[in-house]
Amino acid sequence: MSQLFTPITLGLLRLPNRIIIAPMCQYSADNGKATEWHTMHLGHLALSGAGLLIVEATAVSPEGRISLGDLGLWDDATEQALGDVVQAVKKHATIPLGIQLGHAGRKASCALPWQGGAQLAKSEGGWQTLSASTQPFNPLDEAPQAMSLEQIEQLKAQFVAAARRADRLGFELIELHGAHGYLLHQFLSPLANQRTDHYGGCLQNRMRLLLEIFSEVRAVFPANKALGVRISASDWVDGGWDEQQSVELTSALKELGCDYIHISSGGLSPQQKIPVGPNYQVPFAETIKHKVGMPTIAVGLITEPEQAEAIVATGQADMVALARGILYNPRWPWHAAAKLGAQVQAPPQYWRSEPHRVKGLFKDH
């Protein structure tokens, strides 16, 4: 029996299988508001047969956007627009829906990736960025503003407000974005956090903001819904955030009731040296799973069904996430189920596509 296609429970949220669609920025929002593109994109992926679909990194404030095209959830207009998309998806798909909430920090105010992705000057429509300290991501970038304690309190309130909106919209899971060099990661890493107050210095201080935001979001997000965190397990830079600090952070999150940890790496520094290859991040997931005992999602160049099956079956991680791979092949879970002798959920309109050699592939619930 395929382990990849067995159910798993995150907190009280039951997933039908262990294939996760990772959050993927689309840079296609209108002043933070979801558009018809999001309906097409998410509707497409919602019929993939995966166990969970997590909506792209969604900014909790306008200045928290990576670009002007980033999705947001900070006011009634952005809530209404995303609500229209969610309602359309839920009308035709039963896949559990999650949303990743984040703030880009010093990596905000950038051009769209297909327009170069460089930081925008204020004269180009950019804005003042925020961070733990004043070190920019790139030496040529404008220095971010080191957040005051008042701004930190405002940030926490923004995450809480966005979580309440996500709950109202019907999301069954929230993922806090503490990875890829964005704001919460900037507070975690000693490479970006040079503060001398109780949010900087020792590991406990650098973890403080993420743990406080987690606690405040958990307090307002219903107990029957899941709350997890995405982290970069390593900066891949000497003297930066690393695996051992990730273990310490994950242990602290577990004590606060975190339901899962989604383990990526990198993104904090242009000096990173990443040994990219198949499964290159899986060892981090394996270490955290076995040392902390929290449900783990492994991600990164997991492209083949047998590869994903082996990760789950051997206990390296509890789930696998796909991003670029499922954009390239949006029916990846169908093909994986066919190869692994499993069943996958599909809408009845598509049942006639079942190949003759894999009869019994589809199920309707």
The residues annotated as belonging to the active site are 182
Phi, psi at 317, each rounded to 5°:
-155, 160
For residue 181, which amino acid is it? Answer: G
Q: Closest Cα partner for 271 from 80, 129, 138, 100? A: 138
Rounded CA-CA distance 157/152 in Å is: 9
3-state secondary structure of 22: coil
Residue 21 is encoded by which pair of tokens?
Answer: 């669609």
Rounded CA-CA distance 265/280 in Å is: 10
Rounded CA-CA distance 231/297 in Å is: 11
3-state secondary structure of 2: coil
Bridge partners of residue 333, in order along the sequence:
none
**Residue 196 burial (CB < 10 Å; 0-12/13-18/19+)?**
exposed
**Residue 278 burial (CB < 10 Å; 0-12/13-18/19+)?**
exposed
Distances (CA, A) of 328 to 87, 197, 324, 325, 332: 25, 46, 6, 5, 9
Residue 139: CB atoms within 10 Å: 7
Residue 194 is encoded by which pair of tokens?
Answer: 């040079």
Residue 37 is encoded by which pair of tokens?
Answer: 């593109």
